Amino acid sequence: MSRTKEVKQRVRTARGRTLSSTRWLERQLNDPYVHKAKAEGYRARSAYKLLEVDAKHQLLRPGRRVVDLGAAPGSWSQVCARRGLPVVALDLEPVAPLAGVMTLQGDFRDDATVERLRAALGGPVDLVLSDMAAFATGQRLVDRLKAEELAELVLAFTDDVLAAGGDCLIKLVKGAEPVARAQALTRFRQVGFVRPPATRKDSSETFLIAKDRLPAG
């Protein structure tokens, strides 16, 4: 993304505002993706991560049915809906209504939630997206194990819901790649990792991209 205006905005530390919230505000004000998301009506700057991955990997093909896990506030679902793809979206938090998107609230780690999700889908899908992120503890090992656990659950979920030939995009943290890769390789013909330009430079996130789901059995 080109930065035409290089004038950085500074935020004065106001009484009652912590240093970290001042830094967060400063980063938001100087982030071109935040401005673009606002101008284009996306609920979050993360929309551009999916758009950038799609520009390279063509995940959002016409007619595909999509599950969006960890969907709130809803920008990935918006991207899919704007392409005319039907979406079922799940999050711990409520996702405000979006045309073309069925939203569910619940914890993906609970069997009962997965059952509700399966019932809502009513059949196979072609694309499983997961931008789920467990609350970061800052302890690298703990955060890695949590990301590995979520990725494992998502990959197991693809066994039940993803049609042969379908694709999957899963957020990870750095360090979780080997375990997720090994589990994806038994299920998909192509497995790799992608860090779209919209991912912040200081972020530890990376995405597993698994393409062409092998037929079940």
Ligand X SMILES: C[S@@+](CC[C@H](N)C(=O)[O-])C[C@H]1O[C@@H](n2cnc3c(N)ncnc32)[C@H](O)[C@@H]1O
- Which residue's beta carbon is nearest to the bound ligand X? 70
Least Cβ distance, residue 110 to ligand X (angstroms): 8
Instruction: Single out the residue of 37, 98, 131, 198 in contact with ligand X (rule: CB under 6 A).
Output: 131
String of contacts with ligand X for each residue 56-75, x by CB under 6 A:
--------------xxxxxx
Least Cβ distance, residue 83 to ligand X (angstroms): 15
Decide: is 115 part of the binding site for ligand X (CB under 6 A): no
Decide: is 206 part of the binding site for ligand X (CB under 6 A): no
Decide: is 85 part of the binding site for ligand X (CB under 6 A): no
Q: For residue 82, how many C-alpha atoms fall within 13 Å in the half-sphere facing its CB? A: 12
Identify residue 175 by its one-letter amino acid code: G
Which tokens sit at 186?
């038994």
Report which of 208, 214, 166 is spatially closest to residue 66, judged by C-alpha positions. Answer: 166
**Secondary structure letter of residue 216 according to DSSP:** P
Decide: is 107 part of the binding site for ligand X (CB under 6 A): yes
Please say which residue, 134 or 163, places its beta carbon nearer to ligand X.
134
Report which of 121, 107, 5 is spatially closest to residue 67, judged by C-alpha positions. Answer: 121
CA 204 to chain centre: 14
Q: Report the distance separating Cα 11 and Cα 81, nearest Å.
A: 36
Instruction: Single out the residue of 53, 98, 128, 132 in contact with ligand X (rule: CB under 6 A).
Output: 132
